[in-house]
Structures are given as structure tokens and as C-alpha cells.
Amino acid sequence: MILPKTKIALLNSPYLLNEPFYQHMPPLALLYLASYMEQCNFDPMIFNIESCVNDNGIYIWNYDIKVLFAQLRTFDPDVIAITCPYSGRWPFTQRLLHIIKNNFKNVIIILGGIHPTSFPEYCLRSSAADFIVLGEGELSSVELINHIFTDKNYSDIDGIAYKNNSDVIVNPKTIFIDDLDSLPFPAYHLIDIKRYEHLCRNDRMSQIKGFYFWLLTSRSCPNQCTYCNMFLSHGRKWRPRSPDNVLKEIEYLVSSYNIRQFAIIDDNFTLQRDRAEQILEGIINRKLNISFTTPNGLSAKTLDDNLIKLLKQAGALGISLAIESGSEYMRNEIYNKRLSSEQIINSIDLCKKHKLPVHAFFMVGAPQETEETINSSICMMKRIKIPSHINIATPYKGTEFYDYYIQNDIISDEIISHGTTIDLRVPPENIKNYKQILRWRSKLQFFNILFALKAIITDKTFLNFNTFVRFIKGIILPKKINYMSYNNILDKYLPLNYHGK
């Protein structure tokens, strides 16, 4: 007798933004989970969010709950797994969990993503989730599901959190996949490619416009920047895929789906220079004819003349560099970038030499920020003259940044765990110098435009209607999204008492 496969419904989490930023592709985490679950003889199905509503300047990405529930009833899953990849999505995830549990009372709900990984006890106690998978999810989720439907013994499963009567038990995440080549490629075959070609026609990801696929060639980053908590998800050890494995995935996606655009979303793609060179040379020598971008940024200290030349020849539409500040003190003493101004300037000059468009990431608003450090960033902008993105310094759980904010009563743990004020576009609510941080960001934006105007005008990825609208709505005239905004939108689009038929 052949037993039926365990059915797993994989869901994205709703969210809102104060700018029209369109991204229709399912999260790579769900695509990887689905392919690994298939390999383990499960039956996964991806239910992605595909629609965005403009509600008076607030852009809500959400399911049509009636349609979603009808699809779930048809699929009849044994487990519903939901990812919450950003803290700002937690209020929506929390509400969606409640509605799902009310309508699918006997279905096991598993929660994943960086916010539940950061706050497992809070997220379990305050939601309808039955379990949380911490960080990298392939191994732990499959082992957990096997135990759910057999002995229900969870004490030895690595990287999960679960309820035990009135207690929450957290098994720390200690095991990560060293051999990433052993993983199957993401399950793009589980989504309707033709449909996404249409849905993504106006999407943008850095320098990419239209339909693209994600590409993750390594996991984690050994650097220990004080504001980054991705090690909670991927561990502190950098784990690369082999160049041949990466190239085989690109070849497969090109031949199977005729996809020609990729977003390489590694945390540190060029950390091992010779590996990056082998990948880029393989793209060139195999004549794959693709274009790509690096939206998470590259480290300037890993770049040299040959690597930048190869990036350009292999099809890079442009790269982003995580500079964070023009102040050596802020960049290295506060952010722990271990990156000199000389390295930054040299890398950018080499990009200009090879005509490779380059953007910069800056942060503003850390507790140690002053007018002097802001002026240092302005001086850096004057020297490099490239388009820059100005983000707000944000204290994520697990970081030195977070510990400093909590220990010095700059912000409360409750505000961070609730997720309603975690947004790179505005400072956390209740922070004392909220208005000053916004003034600093506006000042940096002004001088960025002043000094980089020529680069902005000649950069097609900056000078377009979509980017102009995003700049006006997200930067110049941002719609403030506060706790009340979240509650009003939740009640409107995810009513607590919803009972679908």
C-alpha cells in the first residue's frame, strides 16, 4: 500500500509600503523549500501574493482571502507553512495566521522567516502558529513534519520552537547545510511561468526591469557588521556553491524558461574572489547571454580591476556597494565595516573605468550620528558622484545595534517585536530624534542629487517614471505608516472575524 504524500501549502506574507515598489516573484525561500520537500517525497504547493492595492498612498500586497481559501480547500493541505521574511510584515502575518486557524482548525501551521527566528517565543505566544522553524529551513522543516505525523517528539529537532502546554520550547539553530550543491534547484516548475512573465512586466529590482529570477550562489557572510542579523538565518559561516553548480542552474533556467535576467541576492557574492571570477568567466565562455544585478550589494574591499571587468563582460547591468557612511568613525567603529575610504574610492573609480554603473548604500540615524558625520557622508558623495540610496539605521534583533538601543533605552524591545515600526524608510517610532533623522536623510538626498546629477541623468535605472514616483512618494513626501495605520488596514483587508466558504 502506497501512503499518500504529505501536502504542504507554502504561503508568502502580506505587507505594505509607502511607495509603489512592485515585486511579484515568489520568495526564493519558498522555492527552495518546495524543491527540497519534493525531494523528500512531500507534495508542496506555492500560494503567492500577486496583487497590490493602492489605498490612499499606502500600497498593500495581500491575498484575495476568498480566492486563497477556496484554493486551499481544493488542495486540502496537511500543513500550512508561512514565511515572514521582514519584521514589518509581522502584523499581517499574525492576522493571517489567526484567520487561517479559524477556518482550517485541524491544519498544522508552521511559521518561518527572520522575524519569527528573532522572536520565537513572542511570535508563538501571540499568534496561531503551532511551530516555528528557525533560520535556514530545509532540514528542520522536513524533520519537524515527519515527527508531527509520527511520534510527536520534537525535543531533538534542531532549529525549531514549539508549544508545550503553557511553555514555549526553543531548540537553538546549530546545523546548517554545508554542501549547498546537494540541494535541488528552486522549484520554479511549481509556478505558472507564463503568468509571471505578464505579472512582472513592470517590476523593478535595482537595474532590472521586468521578468527575472532570483539566484543565490552562497549563504551567509563572515563579516560581523553591527547592524546585520542575517547570521540568525544562515549562521556565521559563509557557505558557497561551486561555480559549476551555479552555472548549471543558470543554464537550466535559460534553456527551460528562456529567462535572461537574474538578481544575485547573496549577502557576499564576491567574498571569495577566485570563485566569483570562475562563475563570471563561465557565463562568458558558455555564452549564456544573461544580464544580472546585485541588489544586496557587494563589498568594495573584495573588488579589483579584473573582477570588475569580468562583472561587466558577464552581463552586470550595474552593482551596488554598501558604503553606509562617509565617516571612517561611523563606518568602521560603529558599523564595523572594516572598509577604508581608499578602498571605496578605488572600487568606484574602477567601475567608472570599465563603464559599469555603480550605486551606493548609505545609512543615517545611528545613535552616534552627528552633523559632523553627516557632513563626512556629503564629502564622500561629492568625491564619488554616484547615485545613492539613503536608508535609516534600524536596530534588528540579534545585532550589536539592537543591544545598544535596548541597553540605552533608545527604543523598547516591544516596539521591535511587534514589527509595526521596522522600516528602512522611516525611523522607529518613539525615537527621540525622529525629526532630526529625517532632516539628515533629506540633506543627504539633496547633496546626492546635486553631486551625482550627471550619473543619475545617464543612468536609465534611475531616470524613469517608476523611480521618479517612488522617490517622490517614498522619500520626498513619504506617507507615515504608524500603529494606527496598520490596524486600520488590517481590519479592512484582513478582518479578524473572516469566515470564508
Task: Break the chain into its structural domains and give their ranges.
Answer: 7-135+137-175+487-493, 180-205+207-460
CA distance 106 to 282: 50
Tens of pLDDT, residue by residue over 443-453, are: 999 999 999 99
Sign of CA dihedral 157, 158, 160, 166: positive
Q: Which helix (H) or strand (E) holds 11?
A: strand 7-11
Q: Which residues pair with 61 in a beta bridge?
A: 15, 52
CATH code, 7-135+137-175+487-493: 3.40.50.280
pTM recorded for the entire structure: 0.93
492-499: long-range pairs with CB below 8 Å, 24+: 492/55, 493/14, 493/53, 493/60, 493/62, 494/14, 494/62, 494/65, 494/92, 494/95, 494/96, 494/99, 495/99, 496/95, 496/98, 496/99, 498/65, 498/99, 498/102, 498/103, 499/102, 499/103
Tens of pLDDT, residue by residue over 211-239, are: 889 999 999 999 999 999 999 999 999 99
The residue behind cell 511607495 is 19
Of the ranges 14-18, 451-455, 488-492, 494-498, which one carries the lowest mean pLDDT score?
14-18
Classify 180-205+207-460 by CATH class.
Answer: alpha beta
CA distance 419 to 438: 20
CA distance 147 to 144: 5
CB atoms within 10 A of CB 432: 12
pLDDT of 465 above 80: no
Tens of pLDDT, residue by residue over 140-167, are: 999 999 999 999 999 999 999 999 999 9
CA 388 to chain centre: 19
Q: Strand runs (DSSP E) across 210-325, as ranges?
A: 213-215, 218-219, 239-240, 261-264, 291-298, 316-324
CA distance 302 to 222: 13
Contact criterion met (CB below 8 Å) for 456 and 468:
no
pLDDT of 1 above 50: no
Q: Are strands 239-240 and 218-219 parallel, antiparallel or unpaired?
A: antiparallel
Give SS3 for 7.
strand
195 — pLDDT class (breaks 50, 70, 90): confident
